[in-house]
Amino acid sequence: MEHICLDLEGVLVPEIWAEVAKHTGEDKFKLTTQDLKDYSELMDMRMELVRSLNINMKDINDIVDSMEPFEGAREFLDWVRDNFQLTIVSDSFYELTWPLIRKLGTPSINCHYLDIQDGELKGYKLRQNNNKQKVVQALKEMKFTVFASGDSYNDIQMLNEADYGVFFQAPEHIKDEFPNIDVVNSHTELKELFISKSQFVERGE
């Protein structure tokens, strides 16, 4: 049985912190794991901005509540879950992503935790270091064949660890840096690629 691991932001939904940038006017929120290789450096910067701008968790939740998944993402996930095992593997946070996860039909997600006290965002807690890679390793140890897709620096270990990993709409500088990883530009292309790489038997209605 094949198991598919998908990144969340950039593959299924827009970048949450980029949306925060639009609402706050703070351009540094636009930086993502497509720009910085060190995830802790990125999150520490975001936490400092949250503190300096006096942004509380309700402000962020209101922004996320207003967001929508990419067009066709829900339908793509429905197809994946009809025909494969699926886990969303994200470096985002349960408390942040849940409104979007519900809009995607509540797929299984493995991600991190925010430290929230009295409605204030105090920090974050990583599930484990190199979480994406370790999720794929665990699935392979359970004898799954693992396919994976993501768009950023923090996906590289997951894509390389998977039996087959592919970029989804990755920026040019990342594609140029990792030319060994294939690239798709739509959910339709990703679906066709998963079919071609699998022992596929249509199980949906």
- CATH number for the domain harbouring residue 174: 3.40.50.1000
Q: How confident is the model at residue 159 (pLDDT cuts 50, 70, 90)?
A: very high
Does the pTM surpass 0.85? The reply is yes
Q: What is the DSSP string of 13-61?
A: B--HHHHHHHHH--GGGG--TTT-S-HHHHHHHHHHHHHHTT--HHHHH
Q: Which of 40-44, 165-169, 188-192 has the lowest mean pLDDT?
A: 40-44
**Phi/psi at 147 (nearest 5 deg)?**
-110, 145
Cβ pair 177, 149 in contact under 8 A: no
91 in active site: no
With respect to residue 144, please indicate whether it lies within any of the assigned structural domains.
yes
> What local confidence, expressed as pLDDT, does residue 71 receive?
97
Question: What's the whole-number mean pLDDT along residues 17-33?
Answer: 93
With respect to residue 27, please indicate whether it lies within any of the assigned structural domains.
no
**Catalytic option among 2, 9, 95, 151:** 9
Question: What's the whole-number mean pLDDT along residues 50-63?
Answer: 94
Residue 70's nearest CA partner among 190, 201, 159 is 190
Q: Per-residue pLDDT for 56 more than 50? A: yes
With respect to residue 28, please indicate whether it lies within any of the assigned structural domains.
no
176 in active site: no
**Catalytic option among 7, 91, 95, 161:** 7
Q: Which domain holds residue 179?
A: 2-15+67-197
Strand order across the 182-184 sheet? 120-125, 109-117, 85-93, 2-6, 145-150, 164-168, 182-184
With respect to residue 62, please indicate whether it lies within any of the assigned structural domains.
no
- On the 0-12 / 13-18 / 19+ scale of CB atoms within 10 A, 110 is middle
Q: How many domains does the chain have?
A: 1
With respect to residue 54, please indicate whether it lies within any of the assigned structural domains.
no
With respect to residue 155, please indicate whether it lies within any of the assigned structural domains.
yes
Question: What's the whole-number mean pLDDT along residues 15-22?
Answer: 94
With respect to residue 97, please indicate whether it lies within any of the assigned structural domains.
yes
